[in-house]
Chain A
Amino acid sequence: MNLKTLKNRLESIQTLATIPAVAKHVLKLLGDPTVSLVEISRFISQDPVLTSRVLKMVNSPIYGFPGRISSVNQAVLLLGLNVIRGLLFGITVFDLMQQTMIGLWEHSMGCAILSRLIAVKKGLKDPEEVSIHGLLHDIGKVILVLKFPDEYEKVMAEAQEKGIRVYEVEAGYFSTTHATVGAWVAEQWSFPKPLIDVIQYHHKPHLSKVVPMETAIVHFADVLLRGRGFGFAGDSTVPPLHPSSWELVGLSESDIKSILREAEDLLEEAADLSL
């Protein structure tokens, strides 16, 4: 499949028959760059199922809030527009995935948790945003599996057989990787620039121009999580850590160990979370 064909077929992603009506509404609402917090808050509150999912997510270990957040308004105020939008995307899109690629949701949650813990360790200003970057970094895989299930099945089989990563096999089928596909749809859906950058470069963190630190953190979290053997992202070997990310993130051995220790219970809890 060449790039042009791929792009044409992905353009109709919002009209995919498999996307339920609520998800379509969410995507339409979030795709509007001028949408306000009040509108999003009202939209979530009108739908009891969505409300309960949003509250479960904000009280989940992917954020580190100590108290219990019991209302949508409180969640929206506390997290801000970018994080709430990312969260809604996560809930909406990964919902479609649960049965398509078992383990990708766990991988995404795990990456969100580790990204946040690293961001906290580095003293970054908005660890919750980095958490959303981790949650959504593999959105391109969701899109590819949804749109081209048979081809992606072959990609995973080939990666398994050769003992390499899916992103090294994807180009042979799609002329590009899930990282680029993710960045395209993220642009179509008006994701914030930093998030698009992380999605595009999470396997090539040294090329990130907009948010090099956040991209390096998500890349690091991805490697560490697969090393731990939590979740499944289409292949079963750890990708190499880019040396530039090792330098940039600059964690000491004891930092890494304390992050792993802290993550352990949170990962277990995340694995039990059903939306």
Chain B
Amino acid sequence: MRISAKNITPGMKLERPVLNKNGLMMLGADTELTGALVKKIQKMDIQVVYVQGISKALPPLDEVLAGLEGRFRSVETAPHMDVLKKLLREHIEGLYKANESKNPEK
């Protein structure tokens, strides 16, 4: 997963190598980040780091789906909007499923 370098925390594992400005590899894939490495990466003027699947703190699914319904309420009868709403619902449910499978103990 692609995340902003300022959001990395110790314990995360790299999905792809971290490269410096000139394209030299500084840390290899599968490296587990320590506090010191986090500080180092954040000092390196890197915007994005790829880390292995982590589960995110997502807002409750029913709240998110209720929000979706609310946003579409006034356009329900407009052409194609039912399809778009259905696709967005499936997309959002898919995100929650993927997140769950990364965090099975919950």
Contacts and interface: CB of A to CB of B under 8 A. Distances in A.
A45 interface: no
B75 A238 contact: yes
B36 to A, nearest CB: 23
B73 A237 contact: yes
B48 A239 contact: no
B87 A229 contact: no
B54 to A, nearest CB: 12
A273 B47 CA distance: 9
Given A163-B74, A237-B75, A272-B7, A265 B2 contact: yes
Interface in A234-253: 236-241, 243, 246, 253
Contact of B83 (A56, A164, A253): A253
Interface of B is mostly: helix
Interface in B63-106: 64, 67-68, 70-75, 78-81, 83-85, 87-88, 90-91, 94-95
Nearest to A255: B87
Contacts of B47: 56, 59-60, 273
A70 to B, nearest CB: 6
A239 B87 contact: no
B74 A227 contact: no
Nearest to A56: B47
Interface stretch (A76-84, A180-188, A256-264): A256-264
Contact of A239 (B1, B4, B75, B83): B75
A203 interface: no
B3 to A, nearest CB: 7
A163 B75 CA distance: 11
B23 A67 contact: yes
**What range describes how many residues of A lie at the interface?**
20 to 34
Contacts of A269: 2-4, 48
Given A56-B47, A163-B73, A260-B88, A246 B80 contact: yes
B39 interface: no
Contacts of B68: 227, 229
A223 B88 CA distance: 11
B79 A164 contact: no
A193 interface: no
Considering residues B3, B64, B88, B90, which has the most beta carbons from chain A within 10 angstroms of its beta carbon?
Answer: B88
Contact of A237 (B71, B85, B88): B71
Contacts of A265: 1-3
A237 B74 contact: yes
Interface of A: 56, 59-60, 67-68, 70, 163-164, 223-224, 226-229, 236-241, 243, 246, 253, 256-257, 260-261, 264-266, 268-269, 272-273
Shortest 10 CB-CB contacts between residues of A and residues of B: A240-B78, A272-B4, A260-B91, A240-B75, A265-B2, A243-B79, A238-B71, A246-B80, A227-B88, A237-B74
Given A240-B75, A253-B83, A272-B6, 9 more contacts: A227-B72, A227-B85, A229-B64, A229-B71, A237-B74, A239-B75, A241-B81, A266-B2, A273-B47
